[in-house]
Structure 1
Amino acid sequence: MSRENFARTHASVETLHEFLLAGARLTPDKPAVIQAVGGEVGSISYRQLAQRVDGYAAALDELGLDIGDRVILESDTTPTAIAVFLACSSLGLTFIPVSPETPAQRLALIAESTAAALHLQPVDGRRDGVPTSLGTARFGPDGIQVERTPAPRTRHRRELVPTDPAYMIFTSGTTGRPKGVVMSHRGVLAFFRGMLRHGIVSAEDRVATTSPLQFDFSLLDIGLALGSGAAVVPVPRSLLRWPRRFVQFLADSGATQVNGVPSIWRGVLRHEFAGLAALGEQIRGVLYSGENFPLPEMRELQRALPHARVVNCFGSSESIAASFTDVPNPLPDDIDRISIGHAHPGAEMLLIDEDGRPVDSPGVIGQIHLRSAALFHGYWNDPEATAAALVPDPLNPATGQVVFRTGDLAYRGEGGELYFTGRADSLVKVRGNRVELGEVERRVREFPGITGAAALMLPQEGKDPVLAAFVVLDEGVTGVEEMELGAFCLEALPDYMVPQQVRVIDELPVNANGKIDRRALAERAGQPAQR
């Protein structure tokens, strides 16, 4: 089936499930999902995936939930999890993906803040003690088993419309509470359509996805694969820690495209280079996102996979992504930064200076403002944060149109392409995950004996940057036990948000505005940590 036939079919659909299940009508017997079970690799066809979606939807529909009700989906990326979120989509239920490793406190906070109706997990899920406000059910190849029926709801809606929320991704928040990014069916489809115009994969590809389901990069991968009539290959999370097993899985599954954050390649390039190079004829493409790809490692990747097309995907959850840029192959010797290019078709990235004026000159840094039909609705129940992010179009404010003020800083090259330089706020990336330093600081300050805290990323020679916490202790407290603080943080935060270094200082430096001076802290970082 040609890409053109899929494009024509997609032009007539308006919801997420219709878009991703087009293959069930066009190529029903082709593999949709490649799965690994007990060391064996098998597949689920588009017809089988659609049948599973229908079965899940029928079971969920009996619960009496209304269009717009929230459903928490706690799972890794699996064929059954994909079918569940498509079933939610078909009923107009807003699914909220979370990781099985999500701390209980964080899950409870998400459930409470969204007034979620139902918690779904696989039949072998390990989550106990789900908040009693939620109905609970488990899903597997044989269907959905309801354990606790959701509280009775009244159905007010009859028709799912494209502007309804499709899903909600929770990211780190500046206030110390997770922040829900609400994306509509229309928004996610606008993004998928723009992405597919890059022709990154064909219907014959197998797209390996390495991202956890609650990281919207996984939804990008699923959309890239199923939206192209290709197959998606969820890589079991446990394999990513073992380079040889990871490479063997890619070989066994026949993956032709591998997507993920740059750090998934670090161990492979160091310890399994020959095994990866042996897949040079099989792997035709690599797409990365979430963090910068170190140039020495990019050169090694290109040396191992000399014929692979490498694409730099740049953006954030509020629009899923903003651009797709081919990395030069080979990478020129004199290059010091990889471009993020231009926005994907159907979108535009503007640079705006601190006075709200457009930046057009090469080399001048401005903040990226994204104009796109693929923008999020807003942050769940947070109109203040939404208003700060979705701002009037600085070029034509009278129109009422809004653009997304991303917080990303960049400058233009001589050809108009953009180069990302950093953030204008306290958001950082840890292993591809967005982390608001304020949320880390809030939790650290709650630890007994700590009166003040500041977090920042510290660079390390030849290694990934490390998340560090600088703390001020209460009077009379002489020290802090890092392992105890780490365990305390893990009760409420994902592991990637737990500080890897703790440094005790007498006081936190502040700038002229009375805010924590992170630059001054970074200058102190070269000093030995005080105990």
Structure 2
Amino acid sequence: MKINLIEYFEETAMKFPERTALVDGSSSWSFKELRSRSVFIGEVLANTYKRINRPVAVYLPKSNEAISIFLGTMYSGNCYAPLDAKAPMAKIETILKNLDPLCVITNTSLLPNLREINAEFEIINIDDLEYVEVSPPEIFRQCIDFDPAYILHTSGSTGVPKGVVISHLSIIDYMNWVVDTFGITEEERVGNQTPFIFDMSTLDIYLMIFAGASVFLIPEQHFIFPAKLLEYINEHHINLIFWVPSVFVNIANLRLLDSIKTPTIKKVLFGGEVMPPKHLEYWIQSLRDQNVIYGNLYGPTEITGTCACYVVDETFDPEESVPIGKPCRNTDILVLNERNELCEIGERGELCVRGSSLALGYWRDFKKTESVFVQNPLNTSFPERIYRTGDIVYTREDGQMMYVGRKDFQIKLHGYRIDLGEIEHNILSAFDTINAGVFFDQNKREIVLCYESDEEISIKEFRVKLSTVLSKQMIPTRYIRMESLPKSPSGKIDRSYLNDKINGNN
């Protein structure tokens, strides 16, 4: 029985040594090459530090090399922590001071950035290492499934990033479910969109490790020019994609699938944001002759990225919200009301998760960990952790869960409790040629719609259409058109930036 991720990788690399494992903008590596490079890094770290279960920070662009260092870190018995090579150095400094890593691995071009940081840490310049063939360090066999595999940093409410610690067990459980649910084999050619600092990339990377899939790290600029993106898909015969909805929305708004056919695509997965149903319907109709599987994967970083899934079937109605689905295998979801009781069918409550998918907690922050990883209020017999997501959902009669919005996206206006996420969903349903975000101006006490469109839409048209789906107090009073909504590094709408703009914070 395999109990850590390197054991899975060893098995796959031995089974498919000559198959393509990774392709980035400059190179293509077989499983044999990837294993050799990863083992070398593992040996360097194991010989240098002789410690296990400590973080190694990886400060590199998204590349084959970065993944080899992730694996190498696990070969050394430690966990990796990807850093954003494009982030402000003040943020990197904050993360590193909290992380206190064994070392930071970087390259020559990024090395000067680290010299700016006022903190003590060792640096390994990957360009200075002389690569040689070595045997795997035996230390990785000491790792058990409950040990940390990686630490991802998410934005915190105080401005200090939180380091979410994910175990080998959580990833093993998740990936075995993905492979079984979507019939993943070594024939998959995965088109990666998400940067490695975001949890959605876990699925892409570990499909390679668990099933022998080939992962193509699509150049970032292709997502700015969607036609180029589709051409890349065709050139490399990509058949599985797991992207944020904003990418699908951009392609649908431009109706690119009318002119650029993508015959190799067989599995379309999405997550990280709400998928507008009419944009999803465009994809379904455009690829209707290809027998494509569509899956909405829901979950925050703290539960390894996915705890619920909706596989689109004949019950999908483009006039209604896309469900977030039902719990994944070996995961239980509790929808709790404000009295910590299970909600009835149709009753809104906070989505809470229990199971092996839960993160170990936040790195060096027990107080924050204990505030959201709490005792299950329904269990008074033995200790049992659940994670409170802060997401509001309800369950339909058919058992499918429907996402409503964030607890912190709820506002009180004119005596009404209003959910901004609900407004946004209805706008995207009523206007299927735009992308949009809804915000609240605290100073002016008004709801603001920021939308992306080639043409100005009159306030009258907005109000007329929205009056049929929204109550009067939920209709935005200010409308801001943008040629392109600002995006975060993950490709989602950059809500923090827009919220600060609207509220005059920058």
Q: Distance in 1 between matches of 2:223 and 2:194?
A: 10
User: Residues 67 and 464 from structure 1, CA distance in 2 versus in 1: closer, same or farther, beyond 3 angstroms?
Assistant: same
Secondary structure of the 1:189 match is helix
- Counterpart of 1:120 in structure 2 is 105
Q: Distance in 1 between matches of 2:113 and 2:410?
A: 32
Secondary structure of the 1:348 match is strand
User: Residues 503 and 299 from structure 1, CA distance in 2 versus in 1: closer, same or farther, beyond 3 angstroms?
Assistant: closer
- Counterpart of 2:435 in structure 1 is 463
Amino acid at match of 1:286: V
User: Residues 356 and 127 from structure 1, CA distance in 2 versus in 1: closer, same or farther, beyond 3 angstroms?
Assistant: farther
Q: Distance in 1 between matches of 2:194 and 2:62?
A: 8
Is the Cα contact below 8 Å between 2:185 and 2:212 reproduced in 1?
yes
Is the Cα contact below 8 Å between 2:239 and 2:266 reproduced in 1?
yes
User: Residues 311 and 76 from structure 1, CA distance in 2 versus in 1: closer, same or farther, beyond 3 angstroms?
Assistant: farther
Is the Cα contact below 8 Å between 1:244 and 1:275 reproduced in 2?
no
Q: Distance in 2 between matches of 1:282 and 1:157?
A: 38
One of 19, 24, 27 as aligned partner of 1:30: 19
- Counterpart of 2:62 in structure 1 is 77
- Correspondence 1:324-363 to 2 at 5 A: 324-328=309-313, 331-333=316-318, 335-359=319-343, 361-363=344-346
Is the Cα contact below 8 Å between 1:407 and 1:424 reproduced in 2?
yes
- Correspondence 1:160-175 to 2 at 5 A: 160-175=143-158
Q: Does 1:105 align with 2:100?
A: no
User: Residues 352 and 504 from structure 1, CA distance in 2 versus in 1: closer, same or farther, beyond 3 angstroms?
Assistant: closer
One of 268, 274, 280 as aligned partner of 1:298: 280
Structure 1 position 328, deviation (Å) = 2.9
Secondary structure of the 2:436 match is strand
- Counterpart of 1:135 in structure 2 is 122
Is the Cα contact below 8 Å between 1:471 and 1:502 reproduced in 2?
no
- Counterpart of 1:420 in structure 2 is 403
Q: CA RMSD in A?
A: 3.2
* TM-score, normalised via structure 1 length: 0.74
Amino acid at match of 2:49: G
Amino acid at match of 2:394: Y
Q: Deviations over 1:317-340 (max 9, x none)?
A: 11121022212369435x411111
Q: Does 1:250 align with 2:224?
A: no
Q: Distance in 2 between matches of 1:504 and 1:203?
A: 49
Q: Distance in 2 between matches of 1:219 and 1:157?
A: 20
- Counterpart of 1:48 in structure 2 is 33
* TM-score, normalised via structure 2 length: 0.78
Q: Deviations over 1:227-261 (max 9, x none)?
A: 12211111111221111221111111111011110
- Counterpart of 1:287 in structure 2 is 269
Q: Distance in 2 between matches of 1:347 and 1:392?
A: 16
Q: Distance in 2 between matches of 1:324 and 1:65?
A: 41
Secondary structure of the 1:227 match is helix
Q: Distance in 2 between matches of 1:504 and 1:246?
A: 35
The sequence identity of aligned pairs, in percent, is 22
How many residue pairs align between the two structures?
A: 432
Structure 1 position 125, deviation (Å) = 3.7
Stretches of structure 2 that go unaligned for 5 or more consecutive residues are: 133-138, 412-419, 445-488
Structure 1 position 157, deviation (Å) = 11
Structure 1 position 68, deviation (Å) = 2.2
Stretches of structure 1 that go unaligned for 5 or more consecutive residues are: 1-11, 146-155, 429-455, 473-489, 506-528
One of 146, 158, 164 as aligned partner of 1:181: 164
Is the Cα contact below 8 Å between 1:73 and 1:119 reproduced in 2?
yes
- Counterpart of 1:451 in structure 2 is none
User: Residues 55 and 277 from structure 1, CA distance in 2 versus in 1: closer, same or farther, beyond 3 angstroms?
Assistant: same
Q: Distance in 2 between matches of 1:102 and 1:283?
A: 33
Structure 1 position 88, deviation (Å) = 0.4
* Stretch deviating more after TM superposition (200-209 or 177-186): 200-209
Is the Cα contact below 8 Å between 2:316 and 2:322 reproduced in 1?
no
- Counterpart of 2:253 in structure 1 is 270
Amino acid at match of 1:73: V
Q: Deviations over 1:307-363 (max 9, x none)?
A: 321110000111121022212369435x4111111111111111111111112x321
Secondary structure of the 2:332 match is strand
Q: Distance in 2 between matches of 1:504 and 1:272?
A: 34
Q: Distance in 2 between matches of 1:79 and 1:210?
A: 14
Structure 1 position 290, deviation (Å) = 0.3
Q: Distance in 2 between matches of 1:25 and 1:323?
A: 33
- Counterpart of 1:315 in structure 2 is 299
User: Residues 143 and 97 from structure 1, CA distance in 2 versus in 1: closer, same or farther, beyond 3 angstroms?
Assistant: farther
Q: Deviations over 1:112-151 (max 9, x none)?
A: 0111232222454476134351222233698679xxxxxx
Is the Cα contact below 8 Å between 1:184 and 1:377 reproduced in 2?
yes
Is the Cα contact below 8 Å between 2:60 and 2:66 reproduced in 1?
yes
Structure 1 position 467, deviation (Å) = 6.2
Secondary structure of the 1:318 match is helix
* Stretch deviating more after TM superposition (382-391 or 195-204): 195-204
Q: Distance in 1 between matches of 2:68 and 2:367?
A: 35
